[in-house]
Amino acid sequence: MTSGSQRSLMLVLKLLDHNQASLPTGVLTAVPAYSSFKMMLQWLGAAIVPYYLDEEQGWAMEVEELRRALQASKGVCNTVALYVINPGNPTGHVQSRKCIEKVIRFAAEERLFLMADEVYQESVFGEGSEFFSYKKVLSEMGPHLSHTVELASFHSASKGFMGECGLRGGYVELVNLDPAVMKYAYTIFSTDICAPVTGQLALELMANPPRPGDPSYPVYAQETQSIRAMLVHNMNWVPEFLNNIPGISCQPMMGGAFVFPRLYLPQAAIEKAKVVGLQPDLWYCKRLLEEAGVCVGPGCEYGQKEGTHHIRLCVMTPVETMEEVLKRLKNFHLHFLKEFS
């Protein structure tokens, strides 16, 4: 248990990082990916080995792309781990069981340590989508894999509808690590500050929620059902709304708390951003905040294919607020296109 999944990630990365080796330690990392993870790698002096999610296929994760990225890293760094975010942040994609099985087999073939960031697992509401934990799938793939593939599974009460992002509490479960390595893992985790009491209570509620007959169950059920209904509405409605705005396209959202729509910016706007010394989507976000009072994240902070531009938009917010946000975004965007057309 830690004060959040980010602390768990940092401590596991410390366990993996060999900072006295001739080549830096490399970690296969999705593009786009949660920006804090990339900052952790940079802080440790480890190398980011980028693999690209397929936007046109709903941000799909392809083993062929993992192989390409791993091959490209040879001689540059010693790639020892594969970091997976499921459900995706910032993309909102959810991996199928078949995809997870392929990824596990790839990790086994290449002897990679699997890091499964699954903090939004309770927020999967897309039609036809279902969350499968890496640990569960691994355990059902037979002893050759289930007893050998090394896995760190991360979850948190600080994400999803339990506490986004106020209550700080998370955990990591380590699977198939050598007992000698586990001794060092316990040492590293024992020297870290534990989760605050409120975070530990939140973790207990997440793992063991009130059940029918418990005094608190009616209030718990009412609140969680209300949040779920809000998320289902926003997940279905927000991408549809964005796709009806000229110059914006958005893949369907299957889970998580964010969408990552693509911006098709006029060339004049891209040139203007260069003049002011900013990435085009960062400059767009600054103007959106200053002129419309809407705060979103620029795609350049999360990673994206060269020549593309995105924004990250949180949908875990009341429907009325979401409506106002999208109205302001649309008005700003149409004026922006007109200005630089």
Q: What is the layout of strands, in order, in the sheet containing 151-156?
A: 47-52, 25-31, 78-85, 113-117, 151-156, 170-175
Residue 164 pLDDT greater than 70, yes or no: no
Specify the pairing of strand 248-249 against strand 258-259: unpaired
Q: Tell me the mean pLDDT in the region 283-297.
A: 98
Residue 267 pLDDT greater than 70, yes or no: yes
pLDDT at position 165: 63
CA distance 259 to 314: 7
pLDDT at position 3: 83
Sign of CA dihedral 318, 36, 185, 101: positive
Within 10 angstroms of residue 221's Cβ, the number of other Cβ atoms is 14
pLDDT per residue over 291-327, tens digit each?
999 999 999 999 999 999 999 999 989 999 999 999 9
Instruction: Locate the DSSP E strands across 137-226.
Output: 151-156, 170-175
Residue 6 — pLDDT band, cuts 50, 70, 90? Answer: confident
More confident residue, 168 or 222: 222
Which domains does the chain carry?
Answer: 5-206 (3.40.640.10), 217-340 (3.90.1150.10)
Q: Tell me the mean pLDDT in the region 180-203.
A: 87
Name residue 2's beta-bridge partners.
170
Share of the chain above pLDDT 70, in %: 98
Q: Tell me the mean pLDDT in the region 125-129.
A: 85
The single residue listed with the structure tokens 């086994």 is 108
pLDDT at position 105: 98
Q: Which two tokens stand for residue 285?
A: 């976000």
Residue 145 — pLDDT band, cuts 50, 70, 90? Answer: very high
In sequence order, the 6+-apart residues with CB closer than 8 A to the CB of 112 are 28, 79, 80, 81, 82, 106
Angle subtended by helix axes 319-340 and 267-276, to nearest 10: 90
pLDDT at position 128: 85
CA distance 67 to 320: 44
CA distance 76 to 24: 8
Q: Tell me the mean pLDDT in the region 193-203.
A: 85
pLDDT at position 221: 93
Closest CA to 133 of 107, 189, 95, 161: 95
Average pLDDT, the chain: 93
